[in-house]
Amino acid sequence: MGPTARLLRWHATGGPIGNRINDDGMRWLQDAQWGFVVSPFIQALKIGTMSNQVPRSLTGQSPIALLGPTVRPRQTLKRRATDRLLNRENHMTHFSKIVAAAIVSAAMGLTSAPAQAETPPDTLIQAWQIDDIISLDPAEVFEFTASEVLGNSYQPLVGYNVNDVSDIFGVIAESWEVSEDGKTFSFVIKPDLQFASGNPITAADPVYSLQRAVKLDKSPAFILTQFGLTADNVEQMVRQTGDMTFELEMDKAYAPTLLLYCLTATVGFVVDKELVVSHEADGDFGYEWLKTNYAGSGAFTIRDWRANEVVVLERNDNFSGDAPAMMRAIYRHIPEGSTQRLLLEQGDIDIARNLGAEEIVALSDNPDIKIENGIKGSIYYMGLNQKNEALANPKVAEAMKYLVDYQTIADTIMNGKVKVHQAFLPEGFLGALNDNPYALDVEKAKTLLAEAGYADGFTVTMDTRNTPEITAIAEAIQQTMAQAGIKLELIPGDGQQTLTKYRARNHDIYIGRWGPDYQDPHTNADTFARNPDNSDDAASKPLAWRNAWDIPEMTAQADAAVLEKDAAARAEMYVALQTEHQQVSPFVIMFQEIEVLGLRNNVDGFIIGPSFNDNSFRNVTKSE
Amino acid sequence: MSVSPANTGGRWRALPTYGLKAGKLIATVAVTFLGLLVVTFLIGRVVPVDPVLAVVGDRASKSTYDAAYIALGLDKPLYHQFFIYLKQALSGDLGTSVLTKKPIIEDIARVFPATLELATAGIILGTLFGVPLGVWGAVRQGKLPDQVIRVVGLVGYSAPIFWLGLLGLLVFYAKLQWVAGPGRIDISYEYTVTQTTGLLLIDTAMQGQWDAFRNVLAHLALPAVLLGYFSMAYISRMTRSFMLAELGQEYIIAARVKGVPEWRIIWVHALRNAAVPLVTVIALSYAGLLEGSVLTETVFAWPGLGQYLTNSLQNADMNAVLGGTLVIGIIFVGLNLLSDLLYTVLDPRVRRRT
């Protein structure tokens, strides 16, 4: 597409709203040298016809009235007469001088601004869209951004090697044992650890942290309550047995790694009991205080959080591990990827976190910038609602799996921000299936559709979140579906809006992204392959329920897998489950996310882990 | 005795009229606000977004979801919810934001100064350039300056402001380095400035931190010039048409025939009369900027009211949306009253009528 065609396409896509258009805007700047000269005129031409293009008119007056010449014939005649009567040329020359002088002085004012400075050598500054942070309390945090902040400022009982998640080790816990019946874990706490506050870490702290998270019952509490812990029984189930020892009892003998992985999630992070208790009010477990404050023992302490502005972390001098090289780490809320790119190129930030596919390509030629990436656990998929007659036909679901051009989307549209992956467990998880049997095959899809009785295709809608990535993938799928006669209508919406509809099962197709809640395979099996109650008023709403996929047998298989203690046997169970799921499920699983960062060349040591709370800047150094 | 009894009587009789006027005004404002709240409240309940999702997210268990549902008061009938909100609002409590976990008043006090500073700088620039350019265009109607001003105005009015913003950043920040980048102030100054008014220019000046002041100015320059350009385009067009109307009047011809100097005719006779409707135009432009220009704030990472409201609306954080709407309502009503007051100053006829 040439620059002008692109320009016209942009003008045809609607009002000046949304990220996509910003991306398009940047694209012209990159390769359409003259686009911006032409644009305003096209805009002006369109103003008369497209009301949504018109900037709001404060007086309610039609913009046409403001733009067109407001000449009235009678006045013109009068004015010409007076023009002849009075010579006004001299006056206007004088006036234009005043205006010119004013413009020049304004320009001079701008030039006096100081030139940009590099970021301070002991401070790491990142640009990230952080408007999803709603809390800093480990019992409540569930957002990507806040998870990363907590991952660098709190410590869990146990952790895992980000390069090999099967390697689990103690962080605050020194050791643990599982009882004979497999239902009770006994933990021993490492000696001589302390919180940032200076309070020593004892068994009372993890016990309080876990009890607190269960009793507060915020969003991530289910990660703990799935072990049979409730507000009523948690004091008996999680009990302190000595200064440095405690026990955790579960209702069933789950696979041991399930509990350990769940304890690595932010909800299992250990809070400073003494400090939090001192801020308790009306039995709230210090919730009102901790949601904007800090009580941890990680490498950094959280000094400040201003919603939609900034998060500031400072080195924790009481940290038990090696002291970080950075004195401070700052997140700035920069919502636009294109703005982040400019800041990174100028050296006003060290790391840009929300670069779009186009920004990544543009930055790859810059010698001052390096691009690093790491595989994340999030899965991109389409959910086909089984309440829709056509979609409920297994042949249709299978045909749709052949109507996505997986490789082209991953390589050209997403530019390396995803890789093709077609099973519900992401690569890196125990038992993940890495076979990708589907590729674009229009003929095969047509045959399947004919067998299903839809030789002429059909029309179906897809709820599409209006982020640049999801929209771009959806548009590509729309084109390939059309080749087999399926008319896919995209319904764009904000995240919460599409999600509300999805949770009410009012969609036909939903295109979404699902991130695992912890590193155990059960997290995704629980949602993609379990649906204990398919009735409309079911208590839990896993993805299988949202697509009205009634699977009693698969649910039983998933339930059996979570109780298998032998890791190898368990892995086999998940492979079998995924193989069947891949063929019969109404989920078109397409991609696994790859997180891509743009960094200044002098920044080293940022670790991109499989989940956001594994992303670490503890070892970051900045050379001159 | 120069004061006649009838005259004093007249003054006394005028008092109830003033009282009536004040009463009418208060009633109008109250009804406006009530209507505003009802409509905003209803829109917030009609939008197909589940407000509980913003609180607990997608993964929460049923018990967590239900607890949040009840905590938000969503289990009560709609009129009851509104009544509770109104009662709290009247006692000065606008509730707590779901997203920031802070009282709405505190949130608005934090984000509004950012928008106020930007909008004020923008409207000052817009007026400073818009009015003279409009006058010039009117005087040179149909000639080259008029055409140039029209085209320049057209670009300002019709080009999407985020696009001009990106272009501006690319040219003046990335290439020429004349101005500072997105944000209100450099991180290095962020924690040295105590925010008392929240208007960073005033805060830094009061504390005598001139380095920080220059930094704030460098950050403010580009977005302010852009918003200024946008409002300049509108103000100059309106000034031009008001001036044309005045210049066509017979008193102008009379003045010219009398030999009044041309500058006096334009700047004193005509502009003085054009100024009356112009005040409304400028006030409404200002109010529009104070609403927060969402796109400008997004491109420039400006933590203002527009970004706050958009984010709240997308997450159905209704307390925040209602609070923000109230503030915008107050701005509009306030600026309208102000322009009414200015009318009486500018137009002796209005004064005489009251």
Q: Mean pLDDT in runs of 10 for chain A (624 residues)?
A: 36 33 36 36 34 31 33 37 38 45 45 53 92 90 92 96 92 96 96 96 97 93 94 95 96 94 96 96 92 95 90 95 93 90 92 92 92 94 96 96 96 91 95 95 96 94 90 95 96 87 93 92 95 90 95 95 93 96 96 95 94 94 87
Beta-carbon pairs below 8 A across chains A and B: 256
Give pLDDT, residue A100: 47
- pTM, entire model: 0.80
What span, in angstroms and rounded, lies between the C-alpha atoms of A3 and B167?
Answer: 16
Q: What residues in A contact B258, CB-CB < 8 Å? A: none
Find the CB nearest A336 among B67, B262, B298: B298
Find the CB nearest B179 among A110, A142, A310: A110
How much of chain B exceeds pLDDT 70, in percent? 93
Q: B278-307 in b/e burial notation, b at 16+ Cβ within 10 A?
A: bbbbbbbbbbbbbbbbbbbbbbbbbbbbbb
Task: Find which of A214, A293, A496 to mutate to test the B interface (most B CBs within 10 Å of its CB).
Answer: A496
Minimal-distance CA residue of chain B relative to A29: B167
**Closest approach of A354 to chain B, Cα-based (Å):** 14
Find the CB nearest A44 among B111, B158, B280: B158
Q: H/E/C letters for each residue in A528-570?
A: HCCCCCCCCCCCCCCHHHHCCCCCHHHHHHHHHHCCCCCHHHH
What span, in angstroms and rounded, lies between the C-alpha atoms of A137 and A130?
Answer: 16
Instruction: State whether residue B148 sits within 8 Å of chain A by CB.
Output: no
DSSP annotation of A309: T
Q: What is the mean pLDDT of chain B?
A: 85
pLDDT in tens, B60-98: 888 888 888 888 888 888 888 888 888 888 887 888 888
Give pLDDT, residue B352: 64
- CATH fold, domain A374-595, is Dipeptide-binding Protein; domain 3 (3.10.105)
pLDDT in tens, A49-58: 333 333 323 3
**CB pair distance less than 8 Å for B303 and A308:** yes
CA angle B69, B72, B76 (to 5 degrees): 80
Q: Residue B182 carries which side chain, given as an amino acid letter?
A: P
**CB pair distance less than 8 Å for B244 and A70:** yes
Domains and CATH numbers, chain B: 108-314+330-352 (1.10.3720.10)
**Closest approach of A114 to chain B, Cα-based (Å):** 7
**CB pair distance less than 8 Å for B57 and A143:** yes
Task: Find which of A83, A116, A349, A378 to mutate to test the B interface (most B CBs within 10 Å of its CB).
Answer: A116
Give pLDDT, residue B351: 67
The domain A118-132+299-368+601-624 having CATH identifier 3.40.190.10: the answer here is: yes
Find the CB nearest A25 among B139, B163, B314: B163
Task: Find which of A111, A287, A500 to mutate to test the B interface (most B CBs within 10 Å of its CB).
Answer: A500
Q: What residues in B contact A82, CB-CB < 8 Å? A: 252-253, 256
Q: For residues A582 and A381, is the Cβ–Cβ distance under 8 A?
A: no
Q: What residues in A contact B157, CB-CB < 8 Å? A: 55, 63, 66-67
Instruction: State whether residue B59 sits within 8 Å of chain A by CB.
Output: yes
Task: Find which of B56, B110, B158, B265 to mutate to test the A interface (most A CBs within 10 Å of its CB).
Answer: B158
| Predicted confidence (pLDDT) at residue B112 exceeds the cutoff of 70 | yes
Minimal-distance CA residue of chain A relative to B306: A308
Task: Write out residues 249-288 of B within 8 Å (CB-CB) of A.
Answer: 252-253, 256, 262-263, 266, 280-281, 284-285, 287-288
**Closest approach of A258 to chain B, Cα-based (Å):** 18
Concatenated DSSP letters of B171-231: IIIIIS--S--SSSS-HHHHTTS--SSS-HHHHHHHTT-HHHHHHHHHHHHHHHHHHHHHH
Domain residue extents for chain A:
118-132+299-368+601-624, 374-595
Complex confidence, ipTM: 0.80
- What is the Cα B109 distance to its own chain's centre? 15
Instruction: State whether residue B33 sits within 8 Å of chain A by CB.
Output: no
Instruction: State whether residue B102 sits within 8 Å of chain A by CB.
Output: yes
Strand-pairing partners, residue B220, are none
What span, in angstroms and rounded, lies between the C-alpha atoms of A515 and A542?
Answer: 13
Q: Secondary structure of chain B: what % helix, strand, coil (to 5)?
A: 80, 0, 20
B61, two tokens: 């268990």
Instruction: State whether residue B237 sits within 8 Å of chain A by CB.
Output: yes
**Closest approach of B1 to chain A, Cα-based (Å):** 51
Q: For residues A172 and A241, is the Cβ–Cβ distance under 8 A?
A: no
**CB pair distance less than 8 Å for B311 and A56:** no
pLDDT in tens, B119-161: 999 999 999 999 999 999 998 888 898 899 889 888 887 888 8
Find the CB nearest A343 among B47, B182, B214: B182
Q: For residues B241 and A68, is the Cβ–Cβ distance under 8 A?
A: no
Give strand ranges (E) for A361-514: 369-384, 418-420, 459-465, 487-493, 509-514
pLDDT in tens, B276-305: 889 989 998 998 888 867 888 888 989 899
What span, in angstroms and rounded, lies between the C-alpha atoms of A449 and A390?
Answer: 10
Instruction: State whether residue B145 sits within 8 Å of chain A by CB.
Output: yes
